[in-house]
Chain A
Amino acid sequence: MSAGRAERSVRGRGGARAAILVVLLIAAVLPLWVGRTQPYFLQLSLNILIFAVLAVSWDILARTGQLSLAHAAFYGLGGYTSVLLVTRAGVPVLIGMLAGGVVAVIAAAALGVLTLRLRGIYFAIGTLAFSETLRVITKQLQFTGGSSGLVAPPLLGGALPSQYLVILSILGLVLLVSWQINRSRWHFAFTAIRTNEEVAAVMGIDVIRFKVLAFAISAFFAGITGAFYAHVFLFINPFEAYSLAVSVGALVAPILGGLYSTIGPLLGAVALRAGEEVLRSTIRSGYLIIYGLILSVVILYLPRGLLGVWAGLVARRAPRPAREGAWGGPR
């Protein structure tokens, strides 16, 4: 690669990065402005951001080759931890949410050690069993309110714009963490482990350490987001907290948007939730069937997700030697 071209591509990447950042900032602030007259829009945006945090954090774990169906488990654990701490111990809501994230980390470390030897589909089944078990236990227990769940105190007095800023900050943090990981040495460890654990180990990578680390980081954001959800919607029950829809959604969005990247899962989450909303408001009944069909087609025919489509368009417009990074997408 000539020095000139290298310089140009670096500058091009820097420009693209700045453009993405500006678009993200506008998109982030827009709902607050529109939401002054249309609270529904702000509420929808908040839902999208919750989903985006789950998708981006799920992807961080997926980079180590672990396809988890336990995101709902950490989401629910975070929610119950926070609601119980706030209602029983009088802890401030924001501290409760943080504690929810920490409890999710502890649970992830424990589950991680148990499921270390499981790979691929067996890991997925193990994590699904963990999530379902938590739901059954929560349903049976007295202090979690059984099937009917618990009433949750509101976050920041129930002020929607302030709540929006909280989830926006959490999303900003998880995006930063995801992006930093992909440009650090961790990225090499995660990708190597995903490709071949034995070779990664022989190359000096402490496979167990990195897998548990990824699991813990991923779970922290699921936990804190589950707590956020409870304190915004003012209740928590086992069916919503440990819903399979949470785990599956967290997995579908990165697949749709582009796995192992920072922007891909974000893009996928926004496209999924916004698309669902558009369909719901235009087609009265059976919109989920149409939604499912579109999703199946998109995933079947776009193996690298929306980011792959974008990369393809860029490559066609400005042909240049293929130089893919270790993630097959932008950092």
Chain B
Amino acid sequence: MSLLTLDALTKAFGGLVAVSDLSFNVQPGEIFALIGPNGAGKSTTFNLISGLAAPDRGRIFFDGADITAAKPHDRAHLGVGRTFQLMQPFHNMTVLENIMVGELFGHALSKSMDEARRDAEAICDLAGLSLLAARDVTGLGVADLKRLEVARALATHPRLLLLDEVMAGLTPIEARQAVGLIRRIRDGGIAVLLIDHVMSGVRDLADRVGVLNFGRKIAEGRFEDVARDPGVVEAYLGEEGVGADATTGGGISGDATVGDRA
């Protein structure tokens, strides 16, 4: 049975349809990547799954249960964890305290403060943050903030982790570390649904890829197949761009970081 199933989700903001008739599923232990140009509806999809936005139509199932109407904190308790593209640490808290929030509130277990602190320290180690544990989050660099986003989400003990551009803006070395971390997370039994523009990372990680454009899913499958799909190439490069990119053979090549519509 699928861990997560989206069934014909539609969400509009005013006249703008951000997500249109979107269906896909994530299997237990799988890494599924959602890619597409900016404004394609990826972040809205994450908000729908984590409960920060309600769909106009369609249903969401998690582990067989209909969670379409469930509150965000209830979804967290069921095992849906997420990070935010714009890093949103709790200021006025140390790195460790940020992670402790997840350990204290993110799951159905009831942990004492001491247990939560100890388990948060273990997650600090896993995410490579132990040296920064006692630091106030103000003044942390991008890479450390991204690590903290992931660590904090891990502290909620998710069964499905939504990663919103955790590789964007990192140096190649940092991005490779992020890939390693995401692999370790999956190997720990957590399914991962990720959004990213860093195509090398998506290629290395994803078991399956779904491509969004203007809120619709235009392709789904293995990265290699999807990257050669003419519809996908066109979506990324725009109609004028197809010819111009002929030297690289077109499409979304492995190392390109595809951001805006060309």
A residues contacting B by CB (< 8 A) are: 1, 184-185, 188-189, 191-192, 195-196, 198-207, 321-328
Contacts and interface: CB of A to CB of B under 8 A. Distances in A.
Given A207-B73, A324-B136, A202 B90 contact: no
B71 interface: yes
A322 B139 CA distance: 13
Contacts of B88: 196, 198-199
A207 B101 CA distance: 13
In which size bucket is the chain B interface?
Answer: 20 to 34
B161 to A, nearest CB: 12
Given A195-B92, A196-B90, A203-B105, A322 B113 contact: no
Contacts of A201: 51-52, 71-73, 76
Contacts of A184: 113
Interface string B92-113: 1110010011101111000001
A185 B97 CA distance: 11
A311 to B, nearest CB: 14
A206 B73 contact: yes
B contacts with A: majority SS = mixed
Contacts of B84: 199
B50 interface: yes
Given A202-B76, A326-B94, A185 B104 contact: yes
Contacts of A322: 136
Contacts of A185: 104-105, 113, 116
6 contacts: A185-B104, A188-B104, A189-B101, A196-B90, A198-B72, A201-B72
B83 to A, nearest CB: 9
B77 interface: yes
A254 to B, nearest CB: 15
B82 interface: yes
A132 B65 CA distance: 47
Contacts of B100: 188
Contacts of A324: 92, 94, 136
Contact of A191 (B71, B92, B116): B92
A271 B105 CA distance: 38
Contacts of A198: 52, 72, 88
Which of B73, B106, B136 is packed against the most chain A CB atoms within 10 Å?
A: B73
A326 B97 contact: yes
B90 A204 contact: no
Interface string B65-79: 000000111001100
B52 A191 contact: no
Contact of A203 (B76, B91, B92, B136): B76
B152 interface: yes
B156 interface: yes
Contacts of B142: none
